[in-house]
Amino acid sequence: MIARLRAEGAIFLLAVQFLTRLPVAPAFTPERLEAATRYFPAVGAVVGGLGAGAYGLAGLASPPLIAVLIALAAMILLTGAFHEDGLADMADGIGGGASRDRALEIMRDSRIGTYGAAALLLALALKAAALTSMPAPIALAALPAAHVLSRLSAVLVIAASHYVRDHGTAKPVARGLSAAGLCVALATGIGAFTGFAVIIGWAESLAAALGVLLAHVATRLTFEKKLGGYTGDCLGAVQQTGEIGFYLGALAVL
């Protein structure tokens, strides 16, 4: 039992290492990295929770907009802009109407283009505007819940879609999601949804979840139509649009 708990702890820390810049050094095996997908939503709770902490502390001495921007900056630093980079790369690859192969080539390019810059700026603006429009207690609760459910949205892409590259950053996690792992991810998402509902209200939680769902469907339709599946950049884009969808959904019924 203890050995099993230690192994699960190592898998969780590998998920933290994969998705963030936090200085963790878990025992690595390829099998553990493949299994780490199950804990992506839980890592979202860590990222969103630390973002909420930054927002709360900054809000003690700053106006709401400044506090929100500090929180967003803290989370970008925490993740190394991992998901934001995916959104920008996907927008560059798909936005210009290139062929499938050319889109995949563009998405590998580390340089950001016009579509990527526009998508990134719009995403950050929508997050800042939505969170600033919420009362502070609701924004504090929304941050961790949004990061959990948006990462669950990305996990569902892994579970139900096809990884289109022969190799890449997301290749190991693309093949490691078992039925049990999916249940762990879903349970984490349900916990975040329920927690937000208990704290803020069921109507707000349902609207926020609907926002994530609509963002998931719209984003998947966009990249699957062009690519026939997903890449690691697409997972980052799904996380970003899902996070925005959560905020906008909750805000719609406040």
Confidence (pLDDT) at 25: 79
DSSP-derived secondary structure letter, 254: -
Per-residue model confidence (pLDDT) at position 218: 97
pLDDT above 70 (res 222) = yes
DSSP code per residue over 64-83:
HHHHHHHHHHHHHHHHTTHH
Contacts of the segment 128-135: beta carbons below 8 A, 24+ positions apart: 128/65, 128/68, 128/69, 128/72, 130/244, 130/247, 130/248, 130/251, 131/55, 131/68, 131/71, 131/247, 132/64, 132/65, 132/68, 133/251, 134/247, 134/250, 134/251, 134/254, 135/254
* Mean pLDDT value across the chain: 93
pTM equals 0.95
Map out the domains of the chain as residue ranges: 35-252
pLDDT tens profile 105-133: 999 988 899 999 999 999 999 999 999 99
- In this prediction, residue 109 carries a pLDDT of 87
Asked if 150 and 249 touch (Cβ cutoff 8 Å), the reply is no
Q: Which two tokens stand for residue 153?
A: 């949205």
More confident residue, 10 or 44: 44
Q: What is the DSSP letter of 96?
A: T
Band the pLDDT of 171: cuts 50, 70, 90.
low
C-beta of residue 177 within 8 angstroms of C-beta of residue 30: no
Tell me the pLDDT band of 1, cut-offs 50, 70 and 90: confident
pLDDT category at 169 given cuts 50, 70, 90 is low
pLDDT for residue 156 is more than 80? yes
User: Residue 174 pLDDT > 70, yes or no?
Assistant: no
82-95 helix and 100-108 helix, angle to the nearest 10 degrees: 150
Count of beta carbons in the 10 Å neighbourhood of residue 6: 11
> For 24-64, what is each residue's pLDDT tens digit?
877 778 788 889 999 999 999 999 999 999 999 999 999 99
pLDDT in tens, 57-97: 999 999 999 999 999 999 999 999 999 999 999 999 998 87
Residue in this structure with the two tokens 């878990």, named with its chain if needed: 26
- What pLDDT, on a 0 to 100 scale, did the predictor assign at position 54? 98
First to last CA, the chain: 45
